[in-house]
């Protein structure tokens, strides 16, 4: 099972006319019971190792307000710098990961503006891509168009996905596993889930478009995805 997820994605890329890019949401860490726990710099460095080794295109979407009390601006910059050095595109995922469907419009827009300050200091250029928290783009057409207008006005491109996963479901229980066999069972079932998703969406693209498209996968920066790729439980 060691590096199984990365090898799965690398194999998908290896076939003719098949391409996959990975997008990782909720940097510096999120989506599991260990959010903001432990050494976040070491966690992110370890997360990057198999991605770099597999030479798969990847990007990270940052919640700058996540773990703010623990890291501060300087600490967050230190965590994000290895992503830049690894060649990742860093995007804006808002400062605090609010739900647009439950947040006043102007408050949500303010969270976007607050969500790129440290990232832009690290990358040295304006952040280009925006990823909606929860993938919620607006409850009404008016809300959706208002957000699109705001993003265009601030130079953002909406980062799409073609394969959404339920990794957060597995991630919530993974840190609670009390022994290695249980962790292994969760990883195995998670990888099965990923394989099924790839098969479904690749089949669907052939049905709708008559060909396989370049896929963009969404996962999260959590202990599960680190563990599923490295065999590590920590």
pLDDT of 71-104, one tens digit each? 999 999 999 999 999 999 999 999 999 999 999 9
Is there a contact between 118 and 88 (Cβ–Cβ < 8 Å)?
no
pLDDT of 41-68, one tens digit each? 999 999 998 888 877 789 999 999 999 9
- Between 14-18, 36-40, 51-55, 110-114, the lowest mean confidence (pLDDT) is in 14-18
Name the DSSP class of 178.
Answer: -
Closest CA to 214 of 160, 173, 170: 160
Name the DSSP class of 101.
Answer: G
Percentage above 70 pLDDT, the chain: 88
- What is the distance between the alpha carbons of residues 133 and 194, in angstroms, rounded to a whole number? 21
Task: Report residue 18's pLDDT band, with 50, 70 and 90 as the boundaries.
Answer: low
Question: What pLDDT does residue 212 have?
Answer: 86
Question: What pLDDT does residue 228 have?
Answer: 61
Task: Report residue 232's pLDDT band, with 50, 70 and 90 as the boundaries.
Answer: very low
List domains and CATH numbers for the chain: 4-223 (3.20.20.370)
| Cβ atoms within 10 Å, residue 59 | 20
pTM (2 decimals)?
0.90
Q: For the CA atoms of the chain, what is the radius of gyration?
A: 18
Helix (H), strand (E) at residue 163: strand 163-164
| For residues 38-42, average pLDDT | 93
Question: What pLDDT does residue 231 have?
Answer: 42
């Amino acid at each position: 099972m060691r590096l199984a997820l990365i090898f799965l994605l690398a194999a998908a890329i290896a076939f003719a006319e098949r391409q996959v890019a990975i997008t990782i949401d909720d940097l510096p860490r999120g989506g599991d019971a260990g959010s903001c726990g432990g050494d976040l710099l070491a966690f992110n460095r370890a997360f990057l190792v198999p991605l770099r080794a597999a030479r798969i295109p990847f990007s990270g979407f940052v919640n700058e307000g996540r773990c703010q009390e623990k890291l501060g601006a300087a600490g967050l910059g230190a965590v994000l710098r290895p992503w830049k050095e690894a060649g990742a595109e860093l995007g804006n995922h808002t400062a605090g990961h609010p739900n647009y469907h439950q947040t006043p419009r102007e408050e949500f827009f303010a969270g976007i503006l607050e969500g790129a300050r440290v990232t832009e200091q690290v990358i040295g250029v304006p952040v280009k891509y925006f990823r909606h928290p929860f993938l919620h783009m607006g409850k009404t057409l008016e809300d959706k168009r208002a957000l699109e207008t705001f993003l265009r006005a601030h130079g953002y491109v909406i980062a799409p996905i073609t394969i959404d996963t339920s990794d957060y479901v597995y991630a919530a229980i993974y840190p609670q596993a009390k022994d290695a066999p249980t962790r292994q069972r969760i990883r195995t079932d998670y990888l099965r889930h990923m394989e099924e998703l790839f098969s479904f969406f690749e089949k669907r693209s052939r049905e709708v478009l008559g060909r396989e498209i370049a896929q963009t996968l969404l996962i999260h920066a959590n202990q599960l995805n680190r563990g599923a790729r490295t065999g590590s439980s920590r």
